[in-house]
Amino acid sequence: MCGIVGAIAQRNVGNILITGLKRLEYRGYDSAGVALLNDKGITRVRRQGKVAGLEDAVTEVSAAGFIGVAHTRWATHGKPSEANAHPHMSGSDLALVHNGIIENFQELKDELQSQGYEFTSQTDTEVIVHLLHQVLETGVDLFGAVQQVVKKLDGAYALGVIHKSEPDKLIAVRSGSPLVIGLGIDENYIASDQLALLPVTNRFIFLEEGDQAEISIDGVRIVDADGDSVVREAHEFDGTHEDAEKGEYRHYMQKEIFEQPAAIQKTLEDRIDSPADLIKAFGEKAPAIFDQVKTVQIVACGTSYHAGMVARYWLEDIAGIPCQVEVASEFRYRKHVVPEGTLFVTISQSGETADTLAALRDTQSPNYVGRLAICNVDSSSLVRESELVFLTKAGPEIGVASTKAFTTQLAGLLMMVLALGRQKGLADSEIEKVLAEMRQLPNLIEQAASLDKPIEKLSEHFVEKHHALFLGRGVQFPVALEGALKLKEISYIHAEAYAAGELKHGPLALVDSDMPVVSVAPNDELLEKLKSNLQEVRARGGELYVFADKNAHVKEGEGIHVLNMPAVPETIAPIVYTVPLQLLSYHVAVLRGTDVDQPRNLAKSVTVE
């Protein structure tokens, strides 16, 4: 989704802004722009398309400034176009960038238009900049004007503002959309994600909801939503600049697939030494809260939702705890009955997904005993607003299609299942058995990823296809769903997943020689049933691609392509079997020449509804 970068320094900040925008490209966007202020005034440059195009345009007009704001836009109000791209201006002295949505923009716009303001875009953002202009006309300074204007705005927003007559001030606001301040030496910055600023600093202040900041080269003044001065602590980024680089890999997604053994290792390290240790990773309040849990409600979006679906099988099977899983965008808008003793669990890579956050904020029922966030970003809203937190340690995930975040979420969820199960009397011997299996995960994932070459070869079969079916049974059904999601996200091939037992209730009608059918077949209790389902496909001429346990005896034959997976213990199989499906969609997408890391129309972090 939209990205913000801003900087104030004693040197030209153009490069900092463009580099920052490039580092935010992964979030998904359709246009980009920058406003730079120097002694002569503000130069604004905007372009539809990629940041590289904007960079060329900035060089062409020699735009430079010691203070500036920049933006990548993911269209919500108004089509992707140069006129709708940020920064937006009111007159020639005031420039503003905005993430989020202003819900009451239409009434504000009507009022401003009746007062003579002319709008040059279809965006909701433009009302903010004109409102600011209006207040500034009354003689208030920029920071004061921003504080007045935000009171009129409904919705979610993060803002960056500069003004010609106060060239030593960069104003930032956070309300419902993330924004961090980066601290440099005699220069400071803002960004919607700290990753944008890692080339220039590793020290950050995370603004709280409602905070407004006035930033100069040597200081930061912050007021909270009530206008009271506050001090927010600075934090050092835990990681290296290179964590967010592509390195030797062709795409971030490829790098992130191969990082999974290390990501899982880091997520589990020092956390699964013994059954009694497990609960520590969920926070100090976990023992008291887990004790009261009778049922679990999981809410998430996209890939994180699929992780929740896997957890449901584990929770009911291993811990005997009932579990409901729902996509956040549905859950938040329907009336639901909350059973007594419900643990509310959100799962999110970014911790900023608008629907997931909204669902969390709507958990007032006293029947909730606690809120647990399983999340990859320590500084995120979801983490800050949940009393229990399990941090996945996947490191920055840049590819829009989630990979290592998913498998580390699964590792965390399995720990949660064991920790909850233990509170409910699950024997330590049983838990120890699963922990021993979990310790094999990095190695098993590495073995699964070593099938890369044969999978690349197999992917040639999919390049010309328009549709694909994914089948799985039991806990592998969500894995099949995730496989289908990956394929459609990055290769744009229409893909559906079914619980294999449902095949004959509809999707079998679609099967012919043009429909590749992908199946995951670990050596579990449902294997024989799955084999029958595969026969049903074969009998209709469907071409089968089976990722099978080497001991499962699924035979290669005409129309049946088998890739042998390592022998994997049943409980952890969903984590390991995800890997070949990620690789399959990756290679199909590369062959089809799509934008693997930034697939069309999608965003990494969906911060609007």
**Site residues (vs ligand G6P, CB under 6 A):** 301-304, 348-350, 353, 356, 400-402, 602, 604-606
- φ/ψ of residue 425, rounded to 5: 100, 10
Answer for the pair 309, 413: CB distance below 8 angstroms, yes or no.
Answer: no
Q: Can you tell me which residue has the tokens 């509170």?
A: 423
Query: How many CA atoms does the CB half-sphere of 273 hold within 13 Å?
Result: 6
State the catalytic residues. 2, 604
* CB closer to ligand G6P out of 145 and 301: 301
Q: Could you give the CA distance from residue 437 to residue 450 in angstroms, rounded to a whole number?
A: 20
Q: Are strands 516-521 and 543-549 parallel, antiparallel or unpaired?
A: parallel
- 31 neighbors 47 (Cβ within 8 angstroms): yes
CA 102 to CA 157: how far, in whole Å? 7
Q: Say which amino acid occupies 157.
A: Y
C-beta of 126 vs 482, nearer to ligand G6P: 482
Question: Which residue minimizes CB distance to ligand G6P?
Answer: 302
Minimum CB separation of residue 66 from ligand G6P in Å reads 35
Smallest distance, ligand G6P to C-beta of residue 352, A: 7
Contact (CB, 8 A) for 446 and 404: no
What distance in Å separates the CA atoms of residue 7 and residue 299, rounded to the nearest whole number?
A: 37
User: What is the token pair recorded at 28?
Assistant: 């998904």
The answer to whether 67 and 170 are in contact (CB under 8 A) is yes
Hey, CA dihedral for 541, 543, 548, 554, is it positive or negative? Answer: positive
Contact yes or no for 161/132 (Cβ under 8 A)? yes
Q: Which of 173, 171, 154, 153 is nearest to 162 (CA)?
A: 171
Q: Which is nearer to ligand G6P, 212 or 350 (CB)?
A: 350
Q: Which is nearer to ligand G6P, 274 or 601 (CB)?
A: 601
CB 74 within 8 A of CB 1: yes
C-alpha Rg value of the chain to the nearest Å: 25
Q: Which uninterrupted H or E stretch holds 477?
A: helix 476-491
Name which of 131, 169, 136 is nearest 149 in CA terms.
Answer: 131
Residue 428 C-beta: closest distance to ligand G6P, Å: 32
CB 223 within 8 A of CB 211: yes
Q: Which of 258, 257, 262 is nearest to 441 (CA)?
A: 262
CA-based torsion, 86, 492, 397, 359: positive or negative: positive
Closest approach of ligand G6P to the CB of residue 597, in Å: 11
Are 376 and 408 in contact by the 8 Å Cβ rule? The answer is yes
Q: What is the DSSP letter of 112?
A: H
Rounded CA-CA distance 405/392 in Å is: 7
In the three-class reduction of DSSP (H, G, I as helix; E, B as strand; rest coil), residue 97 is classed as strand
DSSP string, 374-424: EES-TTSHHHHT-SEEEE-------SSS-SHHHHHHHHHHHHHHHHHHHHT
Q: Which amino acid, residue 28?
A: G
Q: Which is nearer to ligand G6P, 34 or 299 (CB)?
A: 299
Nearer to ligand G6P, 491 or 605 (CB): 605
Distance CA 537, CA 516 (A): 10
The Cβ-side half-sphere exposure at 227, using a 13 Å CA radius, reads 9
Edge-to-edge strand list for the sheet holding 170-175: 88-90, 94-102, 155-163, 170-175, 212-216, 219-223, 229-230
